[in-house]
Amino acid sequence: MSNSVTQLKEGHSGRITHFTDDRIAGKLTAMGILPGSRVRVVRIAPFKGGYYLKVDGMSIVVRNDEASSIMTTTEVD
């Protein structure tokens, strides 16, 4: 079972399973965001704005569109 990052609440984490968009996946993997990485949603900007994510200790900002193509397993910590 996997959900997109946009379904995680602030402060929740998951492990990336795959990406649903090859173009975005190309850019994300180039920055070191890969299937298997642990991702935590640090903050969501208001009005469906950007996602501030922590991936394996790296802080990264993506837009709603990009975040919704990152699929994760849900794990609560």
Residues making contact with other proteins (CB under 8 A): 22-32, 34-35, 42-43, 45-50, 52, 56-63, 65-66
Q: How far is the CB of 36 from other proteins (least distance, A)?
A: 8
Rounded to whole angstroms, how far apart are CA atoms 64 and 74?
18
Strands (E), 1-77: 3-4, 13-19, 38-44, 51-55, 58-62, 70-75
Rounded to whole angstroms, how far apart are CA atoms 26 and 1?
23
Q: How far is the CB of 24 from other proteins (least distance, A)?
A: 7
Q: Which tokens is 77 given?
A: 């910590």
Q: How far is the CB of 74 from other proteins (least distance, A)?
A: 20
Which lies closer to other proteins via its Cβ, residue 9 or residue 22? Answer: 22
